[in-house]
Structure 1
Amino acid sequence: MTGALPVPGLAPAFDVAVRLGRLEDHGITRAGHRRVVPIVGGRVSGLFAAQILPGGADWQLVRPDGAVEIDTRYTARTPAGEYVYLRTFGVRSGRPEVLQALLRGDPVDPSEYYFRIGVQLETSAPTLVELEHSIFVAAAVRDADQVRYTAYRVT
């Protein structure tokens, strides 16, 4: 084996703003404390532009320590009518009072909590298929009625 291992970097790729519906608290299930947050719209800009379509959701699990496991799936459509399926997975954590403030929709400085996600893309669009060949990560922000993030391509 020759040469040093490459050190990954981060390159800004696209911005996402996901509009959210009303949280549905499913209570304690066999998987844990389940919450579902409907995705009702939004936008993507950057390496590609698209409108986020209603119908997706964030299927959250609230851990006993209060941290929230994020599991979103939603679809975006480009101006050319091409579809992009987005899936994110990650964690949002912080002090209990900060997490409660976010749950109420109160404004909270993003430095007060940890919200990191991995982003996977899937598409049949020939002009966008290269996006499937990369790993993306993001630091997200939770506002009262939306989640925002900039996805970075891991180089």
Structure 2
Amino acid sequence: MIATRPLFELRLRVPTIVDVGDTPLGRRRIATVAGGEFSGERLRGEVVATPAGDWLLQRSDGVTVLDVRLLLRTDDGESIYMTYRGLRHGPADVMARVAAGEPVDPASYYFRMVPIFETASKKYEWLNKIVAVGTGRREAQGPIYSIEEVL
């Protein structure tokens, strides 16, 4: 059994997704992250809108691969660079509803991510030394993740 403890909830605002089209690797889309917020017992703050984005790849097997880069600013002014890779997939009808921004039970599809943190902050340097995992759900305004530290 893997033990975890809550790190924070991350809410992203994704107003625009540019469809690059079908590339040799799959259908490439680039999502603009226009901000957001994160909140947990040990840290909280905002997602800085620039630079931030998600380089999505829709594979031929129906899996969407996430490649996200964000700058987090804590409520006490510290900067944390966060990147994550993830996978999202499910039955075609469920994923069509997710893509349309409809409310969908997150238990009906798979949405997982693995974040990495980088900071120069002495207060938050412990983030540089942890492994974390997250589960997500997609809502109309953007994804929401529950992120856990692996103990």
User: Which position in structure 1 is the counterpart of 2:109?
Assistant: 113
Structure 1's unaligned 5+ residue stretches are 1-6
Picking from 10, 29, 51, the partner of 1:35 is 29
* Rg larger for: 1
Match of 2:5 among 7, 11, 14: 11
- For 1:135 and 1:50, the matched residues in 2 are separated by 20
Structure 2: distance between partners of 1:105 and 1:22: 12
Q: What TM-score does the superposition give when structure 1 sets the normalisation length?
A: 0.91
Distance in 2 between residues matched to 1:122 and 1:31, nearest whole Å: 29
One-letter amino acid of the structure 1 residue matched with residue 78 of structure 2: E
**Where does structure 1 differ by over 3 angstroms across 4 or more consecutive aligned residues?**
none
Residues 25, 59 of structure 2: 8 Å contact kept? no
C-alpha separation in 2, matches of 1:107 and 1:8: 30
Amino acid at match of 1:25: D
Number of equivalences: 149
In structure 2, the residue matched to 1:70 is 66
CA distance, structure 2, for counterparts of residue 31 and residue 40 of structure 1: 26
Letter in 2 for 1:104: A
* Counterpart mapping for 1:1-150 below 5 A: 8-46=2-40, 47-55=42-50, 56-150=52-146
Shift in Å at residue 80 of structure 1? Answer: 2.6
Q: Match for residue 148 of structure 2? A: 152
